[in-house]
Chain A
Amino acid sequence: MFRSKDLLGIKELTSEEIYHILDTAAGFKDVLRRDIKKVPPLRGKTVANLFFEPSTRTRTSFELAAKRLSADVVNFSVPASSVIKGETLKDTALTIQALGADFVVIRHSSAGVPHFLSRIENISVINAGDGANEHPTQALLDLFTIQSHKGKFRGLTAAIVGDVTHSRVARSDIYALTKLGANVRIICPPTLVPAEIGKLGVEIFDSMEKGLRKVDVIMMLRLQLERQGKGFFPSLEEYFNLYGLTAERLKLAKDDAIVMHPGPMNRGVEIATDVADGPRSVILEQVTNGLAVRMAVLYLLAGVKK
């Protein structure tokens, strides 16, 4: 079923492979409900977390997922590693290989770094976010969450709201949802419409009032505050006034629509607090599902002959 030793992006996956990951994740979600949340399939394997960009959530999620599968985990983060001493990416990778790691989970600010590392034999590379390219496990956990609420993808309409241009989450979600037959809408300021958007097979809206009408799923993106003052939008207040998800705007969606956010949230910027904590929000569920999905990915890649 799984052909590649690596998970580099959703773009490379077939819909069968995606469903296989989701089915496997369901088994791991059961494990997470038990008293003893640890199972042995990755005993004796080593997972190296290699984060060149700050991340607490994703790194912790991968770490816990690996530990729940009985793997050993080593964390390399930029300030602590030899990267600032000038070591090249290739040397870092070879060092990790020499240490005997079986998996490298990598996040890097440049697109394509996981692909570069994947040339090393005997190691499975999992992309935990590369530049503005992809963040495949986030999309998989989003799919898993949608499936558990909606049961299917075909015929669903999902709206992705926010800075799509700079968002690897958005890109992976678009690939994932369109592959499984969902309709995808993008709602974002005209200044933030990605150049290549026409190729992605999505509908583009520049207002919440039009774009949210009758959608089944609302996927909010984090507004990357570091982009403030670069001319993409005037101010945070104005952004919230135009593109913030409020209780009022939520009414435009279907009555049973769910609200998602990859975290961490900027409350009062892209999402109102009462919506984030409201009954339609599945944001915390996404965190739990992230563990199950990452366990499934590690487990399935462990089975690919290298």
Chain B
Amino acid sequence: MRKEIFDANDIKRAVKRMAYEIIEKNKGVDNLCLVGIQKGGVILAGRLAEQLQSIEDRLIDVGALDITFYRDDLNTKEEQPVVKRTEIPCSINNKTVVLVDDVLFTGRSIRAAMDALIDFGRPAYIQLAVLIDRGHRELPIRPDYVGKNIPTSFNDLIEVSLEEKNGGRDRVVLVTGERG
């Protein structure tokens, strides 16, 4: 069964609210750098940065992180995942880095992302912003900014469509029992 749980406006509002929360928590955007996790996270990081820029009227560094090499399931997957680009445009030493991803699930991608990030330097803080938190953590990881908490069963699938990613309209769909 498919159910739309977030439409384009919901996503827009959630991103806006998260932007305000980031500013509030960090008392501004000084020393801030957003890093999106490939692929959905990169798009969301771009949108968050746009919001932050229009609120605070200054440029924010935005990076993209590919976590492929740091995954803990490389030996068990059928085929090697396709390697995407990593681009960290600024030094992250002593910065506050906000990692951005579309869906937070087991937390294993975030673990990999933190390992990947630390090969680029030593941030003062790493924070985590996600559009959807669907629960079922397998590691002690929690988000700092959440667009929406959605209770799911382990075998459900969350599909995040974003205009920039697949050309369709922005939406989040919950597909029940599809993960297999």
Contact = CB atoms under 8 A, between A and B. Distances in A.
Interface residues of A, number: 23
A181 interface: no
A300 B81 CA distance: 9
Interface residues of B, number: 20
B68 interface: yes
B80 A299 contact: yes
A305 interface: yes
B77 A23 contact: no
Contacts of A38: 119
A30 B84 CA distance: 10
A27 B74 contact: no
State the majority secondary structure of interface residues on B.
loop
Contact of A27 (B70, B71, B83, B121): B83
Given A34-B119, A303-B74, A27 B66 contact: yes
B1 interface: no
B125 interface: no
Contacts of A34: 119-120
Contacts, number: 54
A23 B120 contact: no
Interface in B45-87: 66, 68-71, 74, 77-80, 82-87
Contacts of A23: 82-83
Interface in A21-46: 23-24, 26-28, 30-31, 34-36, 38-41
A40 B70 contact: yes
A236 interface: no
A1 interface: yes
A34 B91 CA distance: 11
A39 B69 contact: yes
Nearest to A24: B83
Contacts of A252: none
B80 A300 contact: yes
Contacts of A305: 78
Given A36-B119, A39-B119, A41-B69, A27 B79 contact: no
Nearest to B78: A305
A111 interface: no
A2 interface: yes
B86 A30 contact: yes
B69 A40 contact: yes
A302 interface: yes
A3 to B, nearest CB: 10
A305 B77 CA distance: 9
Interface in A191-236: none
Contacts of B83: 23-24, 26-28, 296, 299
Interface of B: 66, 68-71, 74, 77-80, 82-87, 115, 119-121
Given A1-B79, A299-B83, 12 more contacts: A23-B82, A24-B82, A27-B66, A30-B87, A35-B121, A36-B119, A40-B115, A41-B69, A296-B83, A302-B74, A303-B77, A303-B78
10 closest Cβ contacts across the A-B interface? A303-B80, A27-B83, A39-B69, A36-B119, A41-B69, A24-B83, A303-B79, A41-B74, A300-B80, A30-B86
